[in-house]
């Protein structure tokens, strides 16, 4: 067993529920910016105590994008252990389990006011053909999303500790 360095702050562990929403040949993503430039994420976020996974997907997607969605089956699961990746200096104490669900579009949220993460700059329907040209996290999504959209993905649900 590896010994952890003492930290006055407890490690951060959470479940994050994400929506995979396609509209034709586009996918719904949040646009974000950090010191390295622009990047994209699936909409979603932390599950609250007492909230089901589907409730968390609905709430987080509506807050971040202004779209009401109907979550369906679980598509992908990934561990993100921050200490193992390029952002270890910033979030080395983070361990996030991301659960990515297929979700159908229902409608726009009337009078939507965004509840954005600190780095979120907007919302975008990104063409699947552009995924290889942009920074998306986890990076495996640039290959997996087009295959999920076409129904040709036959790989594992659990992706492991990837970024």
Q: What is the DSSP string of 19-59?
A: EE-EETTEEEEEEEEETTEEEEE-SEEEPPTT--HHHHHHH
Residue 7 lies in a domain: no
Confidence of residue 163 (pLDDT cuts 50, 70, 90): confident
CATH code of 137's domain: 3.90.79.10
Q: Tell me what pLDDT residue 32 has.
A: 97
pLDDT tens digits, 104-120: 999 998 888 878 888 89
38 pLDDT exceeds 70? yes
pLDDT tens digits, 70-126: 999 999 999 988 777 666 556 667 788 999 999 999 999 888 887 888 889 999 999
Residue 3 lies in a domain: no
45 pLDDT exceeds 60? yes
Q: Which domain holds residue 81?
A: 12-109+116-152
Instruction: Provide the whole-model pTM.
Output: 0.88
Domain count, the chain: 1
Q: Tell me what pLDDT residue 160 has.
A: 94
Residue 22 lies in a domain: yes
């Amino acid at each position: 067993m590896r010994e952890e360095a003492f930290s006055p702050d407890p490690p951060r562990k959470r479940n994050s529920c994400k929506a995979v929403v396609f509209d034709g040949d586009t996918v719904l993503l949040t646009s974000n910016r950090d010191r390295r430039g622009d990047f994209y994420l699936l909409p979603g976020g932390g599950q609250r105590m007492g909230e089901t996974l589907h409730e968390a997907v609905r709430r987080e997607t509506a807050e971040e994008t202004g779209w009401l969605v109907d979550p369906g089956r679980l598509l992908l699961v990934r561990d993100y252990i921050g200490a193992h990746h390029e952002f270890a200096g910033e979030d080395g104490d983070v361990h996030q389990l991301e659960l990515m669900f297929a979700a159908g579009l229902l409608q726009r949220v009337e009078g939507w006011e965004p509840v954005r993460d600190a780095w979120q700059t907007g919302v975008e329907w990104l063409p699947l053909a552009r995924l290889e040209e942009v920074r998306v996290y986890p990076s495996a999504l640039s290959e997996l999303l087009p295959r999920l959209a076409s129904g040709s993905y036959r790989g594992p649900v659990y992706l492991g500790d990837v970024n």
